[in-house]
Amino acid sequence: MRNVGSFIDLFCGIGGIRIGMESQGFNCVMSCDINTECQKTYCKNFNEMPLGDITKIDTKIIPDHDILCAGFPCQPFSISGKQKGFEDTRGTLFFDICRIIKEKRPSVVFLENVKHLVHHNKGNTLSTILDKLQELGYKVSWKVLNGADFGVPQNRERIIIIAALSKKFDFKKVKTVSRKNLIDFLDSEGNFEYLSPHEYTLIENPKKQPLSGLIFAGYRNKSIRKAGVRPNTLHLSRVHKQPNRIYSVQGIHPTLPSQEVSGRYFILTEEGLVRKLTLNECWRIMGFPDSYVKVSSVAEQYKQLGNSVCVPMISAVAREIKNQFFMGNINE
């Protein structure tokens, strides 16, 4: 695929955004991330060592680029007194995004964050981000997208913000696909870690949740919250912490969180057995190819996955960025 434009990969993590962007013909010209473990993994897969702390990067060394991509951390803004444009965000990592935008003037800015950003600090954080991008001369649009709508069996909602100099990005043109179930992404063989029947309880006639696509099938027989719970409702998933829950492979999986470093994701198989998802299966339901090289410890890999993006979702957005801003309305 020919190169249709260049991008920089800020807060690049393990390269999920890069894979999605490159799948649509975009060329990465610079990357950065402060996490040394992520840097090692990124370098192994892309033959490029990301720069480190973004707050210490001089904009003069950043190459010109068409698209600025950033999956940045969610931070509150402390704004008071006289408004100073994007200077109001000083002290946050979003400030560094803004200073790079001001200096380099990319045609498009592609930001990704957790869904919680929508409500963070009573909505003020998102409002500030949108305002500052507009003050920098960009036309801004945003939408919460779910990885489950882009071919991976994971209920993973993320906010995507697209800012462009020429026109607003039209999210309605981003193509989704029919949802897939977890069963299609499992290893056919391997050293599976099964639970013994006495270690869990299955519920009768589990039903798929219509919005999320999850099928809560049971729970591990661990301590559960009982205070304030109505009689005969202890089986409900809300009283069980995430690592205790068991989900059917006939539905999709909940979000893989960055806090879970032990991989306590349990599934009910077609055979009626309960086992942990393998680490490879976790990579797969994030949309990473099986050929992706892993170099970190198991715990670090779970953390990296929890902080990463659903690759097919990024690819779908990148396709529309290409169509709407770089090649016209061309469908592939």
Give start and end residues of each alpha helix (H) in 192-327.
279-284, 298-307, 311-321
Give me the residue label for tokens 């190819």.
289
DSSP class of 330: -
Q: How far is CA 41 from the centre of its chain?
A: 17
Q: Which residues of 187-208 are buried (b: 16+ CB within 10 A; e: fewer)?
A: eeeeeeeeeeeeebeeeeebee
Tokens of 290: 């099986």
Task: Please tell me which residue in 43, 74, 98, 310 is annotated as part of the active site.
Answer: 74
Helix and strand totals (H; E) in the chain: 7, 13
From residue 297, alpha-carbon distances to 22, 253, 262, 279, 294 in Å are 27, 23, 11, 11, 9
One-letter amino acid for residue 187 of the chain:
D
Beta-carbon count within 10 A of 55 CB: 12
Task: Using the Cα atoms of residue 95, residue 100, residue 105 and residue 111 in order, give the sign of their dihedral.
Answer: negative
d(CA 308, CA 17) in angstroms, rounded, equals 8
Q: What is the DSSP string of 131-193?
A: HHHHHTT-EEEEEEEEGGGGT-SEE-EEEEEEEESSS---GGGSPP-----GGGGS-SSS---
Tokens of 118: 């929508």
Task: Give the CB-side neighbour count of residue 115, counting CA atoms within 13 A.
Answer: 10
Q: Show Cβ contacts of residue 261 under 8 Å, excluding neighbours closer than 6 positions.
A: 299, 300, 302, 303
43 part of the active site: no
Active site residues: 74
